[in-house]
Homo-oligomer: A and B are copies of this chain.
Amino acid sequence: MRQERSGKLSVNSLGFALLGLLARERLSGYDLKRRMGREVGNFWSASHGQIYPELARLEGDGMVSHELVEQRDRPDKKVYEITPAGLAALGEWVTAPVEPRVTRDELVLKAYSMWLAKPEEALALFGEHERLHEERLARYEEIGAWMEAEWGDDLDRLDSPRFASYATLMRGIMHERGYAEWCRWLAGRISARLERRERAPENG
């Protein structure tokens, strides 16, 4: 969602994702892509084909500036920095109202038509996703434990980016936990029905 701003300036969600990362440290487009995968990957993502043009737009709007950094062991890079204007825009946006958008979820969409499926195949599908979300949950919980151990005191400071990172990670943990639970519930229902069928094939 592109936010209307005074006159012609506007920044979309991806722009604010990039600003959110740049508010913490100076980064190149390449590094932003990698951070996107780790820190932010839980609730936003973008390909580099989207990031580079967006950085150019942000720079055109005065939200970021860049410095060319020459490297010996690697290709040179552009290191971006958030400007005071960018920081101000980000700060304004943070608590501006959000209209909640529908979360599109193809697996749930499939569940809606699973009465047409072979139960064994449905079981395999939801079982696989249960494992997938359990895996992610375990990874997030590890990171959470690490944050609590390493960042302990900062996690109580509302003005600390670490607290903010921890809060988004908590959302990831709760999401994965709930999603895995749903897959497990559904797979359980399917396998229970399959077992009953095996014991009494007439009622299948």
Quick check: B121 and A95 within 8 Å, CB to CB? yes
Bound-state CA distance A179–B160 (Å) is 23
Quick check: B156 and A182 within 8 Å, CB to CB? no
Quick check: A111 and B167 within 8 Å, CB to CB? yes
Quick check: A100 and B112 within 8 Å, CB to CB? no
Distance in angstroms from A97 CB to nearest chain B CB is 7
Bound-state CA distance A129–B175 (Å) is 16
Quick check: B181 and A174 within 8 Å, CB to CB? yes
What residues on B are CB-neighbors of A52 within 8 Å? none
Among B17, B100, B105, contact of A44 (Cβ-Cβ < 8 Å): B105
Quick check: B20 and A113 within 8 Å, CB to CB? yes
Question: Is A94 interfacial (CB-CB < 8 Å)?
Answer: yes
- Scoring A residues 29 to 64 as 1 if CB is less than 8 Å from chain B, else 0, what string do you get? 000000000011111110000000000000000000
Chain A interface: which size bin? 35 or more
Among B98, B102, B177, B186, contact of A106 (Cβ-Cβ < 8 Å): B98
- Scoring A residues 61 to 98 as 1 if CB is less than 8 Å from chain B, else 0, what string do you get? 00000000000000000000000000100110111011
Quick check: A186 and B158 within 8 Å, CB to CB? no
Quick check: B129 and A100 within 8 Å, CB to CB? yes
Question: Is A144 interfacial (CB-CB < 8 Å)?
Answer: no
Quick check: A112 and B165 within 8 Å, CB to CB? yes
Can you pick out 30 interface pairs between chain A and chain B where the beta carbons lie within 8 Å of each other?
A: A13-B104, A13-B106, A16-B110, A19-B113, A23-B113, A43-B102, A43-B104, A43-B108, A43-B109, A44-B104, A45-B104, A90-B116, A91-B117, A93-B110, A93-B113, A95-B122, A95-B125, A97-B125, A98-B129, A103-B103, A103-B105, A103-B175, A108-B168, A111-B171, A112-B168, A115-B159, A115-B161, A156-B193, A158-B190, A174-B178
Nearest first, the 5 closest Cβ-Cβ pairs linking A and B are A95-B121, A43-B108, A178-B178, A45-B102, A20-B113
